[in-house]
Amino acid sequence: MQLAARNAHMAGEGGDGWAILFRAREMIAAGQAVTMLTIGEPDARTDPKILAAMHASAMGGNTGYTDIAGQRALRAEIAARVGARTGVATRPEQVIVTPGGQAALFAAHMALLDAGDTGLYVAPFYPTYPGTIRAGGAQAVAVPTRPENDFQPEAATLDAAARATGAKTLLINTPNNPTGVLYGRETLEGIAEVCQRRDLWLISDEVYDTQVWEGAHLSLRALPEMAARTLVIGSLSKSHAMTGARIGWIVGPEDVVEALHQLAINTTYGVPGFVQDAALFALQQGAAVEARNAAPYRRRRDIAARVLAGSQAVRLIHPAGAMYVMADIRATGLSGDAFAHRLLAEERIGVMPGESFGAAAAGHLRIALTQEDGLLEAALARLRAFAEALLP
């Protein structure tokens, strides 16, 4: 008996990029002290008030089947939030609630791509992106960016990829994981122009939209003629430290949301009502709560910039958003993968090699700002010293 061919197609070629994380966890399980700067897991736990709302909802009986597209009150709250942030009027019928941002990415590509179609995604990229596109039988094509351009996507490169592949979709992420880059207006206008010229659906992963350190987040949905071809992915995982609650959403045209509703009927069958009630409570606390949750990462971005300033071995890509910084360590002569493995073995510091996020980030490291300030500062100082000792 054989498994479906889609499993191999979804996995693609090469490694999955998680070897450092798994090795670090093994070391911790064996009793070794490791400073984990690997995955984007907020070090703060979910606010007890949100958990209390979840508990009250469950104890109040909201434990049965729920509205598959999402409870009306939550969809209305999400619509109001996204409408206010993007400047585009949004109705609850344009929202579907999903079990987290990852499920939203999967559903969006399932709704827009047939088997054999091509979906583009910008590299460096979150490691699940290509597999998410391939899961439904589509082809996933990375469009590289350059560190010399702070990993900002370039319209000419995107246009060439869309023309060469006949792609139907483009997936972007700003503020960006793994680079910490915020796409500027000029970049976004170039992307919009390509999407319209090549008739692309745009899937915009905006789960870090509350973590902006410089400038302002601009959703492509807000640019002229883009709302009708854009799906916005959102989540409470980062903004409210609710990674385990698995609560996210898609905002898009109503006909797409209806198709996503049909998909949900046959997959998730909705999100638990008590989780949705907790999400509604969380969103109703307003922007001040989101800003408070984001503040540690802004502060730690500044710590990283200060500790690594002037280093000839570790150069930061300008971090304007998200809970990561990306460091260029090519001057050491090591690949990101080799550097990260040695750093873990010799210094007991876990970071993600840039190669985990595609060839465009080779020779770089992604550093998650997910440890308390003092521990992070000490780890970064050791990382800098380790890198500078490798200089020829």
**Tokens representing 220?**
């492509």
d(CA 148, CA 106): 31
d(CA 118, CA 169): 7
What is the CA 78 to chain-centroid distance, rounded?
Answer: 19
What is the chain's pLDDT, residue by residue, as a tens digit (392 residues)?
999 999 989 987 545 568 899 999 999 999 999 999 999 999 999 999 999 999 999 999 999 999 999 999 999 999 999 999 999 999 999 999 999 999 999 999 999 999 999 999 999 999 999 999 999 999 999 999 999 999 999 999 999 999 999 999 999 999 999 999 999 999 999 999 999 999 999 999 999 999 999 999 999 999 999 999 999 999 999 999 999 999 999 999 999 999 999 999 999 999 999 999 999 999 999 999 999 999 999 999 999 999 999 999 999 999 999 999 999 999 999 999 999 999 999 999 999 999 999 999 999 999 999 999 999 999 999 999 999 999 98
d(CA 40, CA 357): 14
Give Rg (Cα) of the chain: 21
Domains and CATH numbers, the chain: 6-45+288-388 (3.90.1150.10), 64-285 (3.40.640.10)
Closest CA relative to residue 17, chosen from 332, 349, 337, 346: 337
- pLDDT single digits (tens) 301-358: 999 999 999 999 999 999 999 999 999 999 999 999 999 999 999 999 999 999 999 9
